[in-house]
């Protein structure tokens, strides 16, 4: 891949309010190495801190999202110390990504397989090309679903479809993934950049505090009962009502309705 300082395996950029994290090993469909796990942790932490970054975008280079873990990772996981370090890093950055208060969008072209697919599914919104290939092939090589897949799949598509994906390893197109509710939207490959730009534009208009709190509430609802959710809403709503964004947005809506 040449000079890694010029062509890093995880590339970041902040432009127009968007913190873009790009998996950048196109020759191997952006398969992830242990080094990339560490770089992903740094990139996600930096995206959370970066004041100019209003939205986080995950994508891959060279027309693919990610083909999963590189074979070198599987070798390193045979060493107990290396495995502990690598898996701890993975768990840290996945939790940080999942709980990111800012909007997270994943753009899937080409292959999103195994750990690569599950990385994308931690985003709030996944937009895929209709002809993209999505698959959870772990059991087919004698492994279990990882990168949070056992947590995500039943919550996204229900247990029946989760078992289809995780236990049978069925391949899905982007279009099929949208139909079963695995992802937010599938579009023609030629339109995917435009679709993501429009989505990001919408997300940037949402008051960030309201977005972060609502996202947190939705995620917590999966861990608690209705009584807990109602109590949580009771605690949060008054704090949002006194925010200046609420008054200005309501006023704008009223003026629009009256006009």
In this structure, what CATH number is given to the domain that contains residue 166?
A: 3.90.226.10
Q: How many domains does the chain have?
A: 2
Residue 2 is predicted with a pLDDT of 36
In this structure, are 181 and 216 located in the same domain? Answer: no
Domain-embedded: residue 5:
no
In this structure, are 86 and 142 located in the same domain? Answer: yes
Domain-embedded: residue 181:
yes
Residue 1 is predicted with a pLDDT of 33
As a whole number, mean pLDDT of residues 146-165 equals 95
Domain-embedded: residue 106:
yes
Distance CA 192, CA 170 (A): 24
In this structure, are 146 and 217 located in the same domain? Answer: no
Residue 60 is predicted with a pLDDT of 98
At 37, which helix (H) or strand (E)? Answer: helix 34-49
Distance CA 111, CA 211 (A): 30
As a whole number, mean pLDDT of residues 204-222 equals 94
Write out 17-28 in H/E/C secondary structure.
CEEEEEECCHHH
208-221 and 244-258 helices, crossing angle to 10°: 100
* pLDDT-based confidence at residue 152 (cuts at 50, 70, 90): very high
Distance CA 146, CA 221 (A): 23
Domain boundary pick from 204, 232, 247: 204
In this structure, are 32 and 121 located in the same domain? Answer: yes
Query: Is the pLDDT reported for residue 55 higher than 50?
Result: yes
248 compared with 213, residue with greater pLDDT: 213
In this structure, are 149 and 227 located in the same domain? Answer: no
As a whole number, mean pLDDT of residues 111-126 equals 98
**What is this structure's pTM?**
0.89
In this structure, are 183 and 226 located in the same domain? Answer: no
Query: Is the pLDDT reported for residue 4 higher than 50?
Result: no
Domain-embedded: residue 164:
yes
In this structure, are 102 and 219 located in the same domain? Answer: no
Containing structural domain, residue 111: 10-204
Domain-embedded: residue 254:
yes
135 compared with 1, residue with greater pLDDT: 135
As a whole number, mean pLDDT of residues 110-119 equals 97
**Tens digits of residue pLDDT in 29-48:** 999 999 999 999 999 999 99
């Amino acid at each position: 891949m040449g000079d890694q300082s010029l062509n890093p395996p995880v590339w970041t950029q902040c432009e127009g309010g968007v913190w873009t994290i790009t998996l950048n090993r196109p020759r191997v469909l952006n398969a992830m190495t242990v080094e990339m796990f560490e770089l992903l942790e740094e990139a996600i932490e930096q995206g959370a801190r970066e004041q100019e970054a209003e939205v986080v975008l995950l994508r891959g280079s060279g027309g693919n999202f990610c083909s999963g873990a590189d074979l070198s990772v599987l070798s390193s996981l045979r060493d107990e110390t290396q495995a502990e370090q690598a898996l701890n890093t993975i768990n840290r950055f996945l939790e940080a990504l999942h709980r990111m208060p800012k909007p997270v969008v994943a753009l899937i072209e080409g292959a999103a397989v195994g750990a690569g697919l599950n990385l994308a599914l931690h985003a709030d919104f996944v937009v895929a090309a209709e002809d993209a290939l999505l698959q959870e092939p772990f059991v087919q090589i004698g492994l279990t679903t990882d990168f949070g897949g056992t947590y995500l799949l039943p919550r996204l598509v229900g247990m029946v479809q989760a078992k289809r994906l995780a236990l049978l390893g069925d391949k899905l197109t982007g279009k099929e993934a949208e139909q079963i509710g695995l992802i937010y939207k599938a579009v023609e490959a030629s339109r995917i950049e435009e679709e993501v730009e429009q989505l990001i534009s919408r997300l940037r208009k949402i008051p960030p505090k309201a977005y972060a709190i609502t996202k947190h509430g939705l995620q917590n609802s999966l861990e608690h009962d209705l009584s807990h959710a109602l109590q949580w809403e009771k605690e949060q709503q008054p704090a949002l009502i006194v925010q200046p964004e609420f008054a200005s947005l309501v006023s704008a809506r009223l003026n629009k309705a009256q006009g």
